Amino acid sequence: MDSGSLLYRRYLDGDDEAMVELIRVYKDGLILYLNGITSNLSLAEELMEDTFFKLAAKKPRFSGKSSFKTWLYTIGRNAALDGMRKSSRISDTPLEDRYDISDERDIEQDYLREEQKISLHRAMETLSSEYRQVLYLTFFEELSNAEAAAVMKKSRRQIENLLYRAKLALRSKLEKEGFEYERL
């Protein structure tokens, strides 16, 4: 049993602090994943809140057939797809406004790192939603192909093919910008 499932079990047993801890541990990654689906940071934050609200209010049963993170991200993905079907409200927040590069350490190094992140995120935003999702789940969240398949409701073979095509598309976009990402 992973720490997420233990925290959720504690919450179901009446420990409200366990839900606070669950949110602290998983909210940032869930927001970034949902942003990959929606391409809207504000909407992704709302969907993250909806996901944790569903856990708190409906208290769905976690069977343990997958990792807690996979289960949670699947709930978030379903909320995103439902929300996108019901809503057509999309506000465009410029990517530059999402990042704060002011830091008192080595500002130049931090700036270069942030520029690389921005380039990577811009390139990812040009990819299809499925490509963004599979890349985010496997590279940033470090889920296995099987876990990503469970979240995206695809077969493992479909995920392998999707990941291969997504990496090719992203590599092509990045090379056009003169950027090479070492993990591709």
CATH code assigned to 3-86: 1.10.1740.10
Q: Which amino acid is at 122?
A: R
**Architecture, CATH, for domain 104-176:** Orthogonal Bundle (1.10)
List every span in the chain annotated with CATH 1.10.1740.10.
Answer: 3-86
Q: What is the pLDDT of residue 22?
A: 94
Crossing angle between the packed helical segments 41-58 and 3-12, to the nearest 10 degrees: 50
Which element (helix H / strand E) includes 16? helix 16-38
pLDDT of residue 3: 87
At 87 the pLDDT is: 64
pLDDT in tens, 58-96: 999 998 888 999 999 999 999 888 877 776 544 444 544
When comparing pLDDT for 94 and 38, which is higher?
Answer: 38
Token pair listed for 29: 């990654």
CATH 1.10.10.10 intervals, the chain? 104-176
Give one DSSP letter per residue of 17-71, joined into a string. HHHHHHHHHHHHHHHHHHHHHHS-HHHHHHHHHHHHHHHHHH-----SSS-HHHH
**Pairwise CA distance, residues 165 & 179, whole Å:** 18
Reported as a single tens digit per residue, the pLDDT across 103-129 is 444 555 666 676 777 777 788 888 998
